Amino acid sequence: MEFYKDEPSTLLAVDCIIFGFDGESLQILLIKRGFEPEINNWSLMGGFVQPDESPDEAASRILYKLTGLNDVYMEQSAVFGKPNREKHGRVVSITYFALIDSKEYQHILSEEFKAKWFPIDDYPPLIFDHVEMINTAKRLLRSKAALYPILFELLPEKFTLPQISSLYEAVYDIVIDKRNFNRKLLSSNLLIKLNEKDKENSKKGAFYYVLNKDIYKDQIMSFLRYLPSWSAQDMGI
């Protein structure tokens, strides 16, 4: 630290924005904050970056510690660092966001942790600028999903076509023509049909599919083009 010893240093935090999907609607994972200030108020999962870890590692560690969620694909979102964003001192926060299947983790969350899913448009007041963090991440999610097939990260291992289209409808808040959407989806060769049906949501049952990971890996989907008449503005991306 010889050279930089006169430079100011800062508290550096991370906050994790976890979106979830249960087959019907989008949710956001929140937790009752476990430390002061603002203890017991709803917030994102956050904590401080330690000297021996990168911010990415800090985000994974903190998410795991607070929710039990492991191996979650998280991406850097924006940095929030206005000098007065926390009243109690200067903290710069790097936000991360992820997309998961909310059903899959339901039991972990409810048994051991205080984290809870809320509908994406109906959650309690949050501390600091966490609402803004969520909105920024939502925008990023939309534009990323316009170029990359990351939305599949939100689906369980096996999923049905109706589930995918509800997911897109939820993320972009639009109505999709299932005929066109399914056709496009199938023609991408990203999906492998299983000989097995999901009977939970209908009497007829919907076939399960799994991702063809080889193709998925670096394929870009431009589903945005195939949604019914709208412009990207409408979707807020």
Partner DNA sequence: ACAAAAGTGTTGTCTTTACACCCATGA
Partner DNA sequence: TCATGGGTGTAAAGACAACACTTTTGT
148 binds DNA (CB under 7 A): no
Q: Tell me whether residue 122 or residue 220 sits nearer to its own copies (CB atom).
A: 220
- Choose the stretch contacting its own copies; rule: CB under 8 A; options: 66-74, 81-89, 152-160, 193-201: 81-89
Residue 82 engages DNA in binding (rule: CB under 7 A)? no
Task: Give yes or no for a contact between 87 and 98, defined as CB atoms under 8 angstroms apart.
Answer: no
Rule CB under 8 A: is residue 187 a binding residue for its own copies? no
Nearest CB to DNA, comparing residues 49 and 224:
224
Q: How many residues does the chain have?
A: 237
> Which residues on neighbouring strands pair with residue 92, listed in sequence order?
12
Give least dist CB 213 to DNA, A: 21
In this structure, are strands 206-211 and 26-32 parallel, antiparallel, or unpaired?
unpaired
Residue partners of 226: CB distance under 8 A and separation at least 6:
180, 181, 184
Q: Is 189 left (phi over 0), alpha (psi -120 to 50) or beta?
A: left
Q: Convert residues 151-190 into a mask of x (bound to DNA by CB under 7 A) and - (unbound).
A: ---------xxx--------------xxxx-xxx------
Q: Are 38 and 9 in contact (CB under 8 A)?
A: no
On the 0-12 / 13-18 / 19+ scale of CB atoms within 10 A, 158 is middle
Q: Any bridge partners for residue 42, and if so which? A: 32
Candidates 19-27, 61-69, 77-85, 180-188; binding stretch for its own copies (CB under 8 A): 77-85
Q: Is position 12 an interface residue for its own copies (rule: CB under 8 A)? A: yes
Please report which helix (H) or strand (E) contains residue 142, including its range: helix 130-147
Residue 183 is classified by DSSP as H
Least distance (Å) between residue 151 CB and its own copies: 16
- Pick what 162 binds: its own copies, DNA, none; C-beta below 5 to 8 Å, kind-dependent: DNA
**Do 73 and 99 form a contact (C-beta atoms < 8 A)?**
yes
Comparison of 22 and 75: residue with beta carbon closer to DNA: 22
- Please identify, using beta-carbon distances, which residue of 84 and 195 lies nearer to its own copies: 84
Which residues of this protein are in contact with its own copies, per CB under 8 A?
A: 1-4, 7-12, 35-37, 48-56, 76, 78-79, 81-83, 88-92, 94, 143, 146-147, 218-220, 222, 231-233, 237
Which residues of this protein are in contact with DNA, per CB under 7 A?
A: 160-162, 177-180, 182-184, 199, 201-207, 222, 225-229
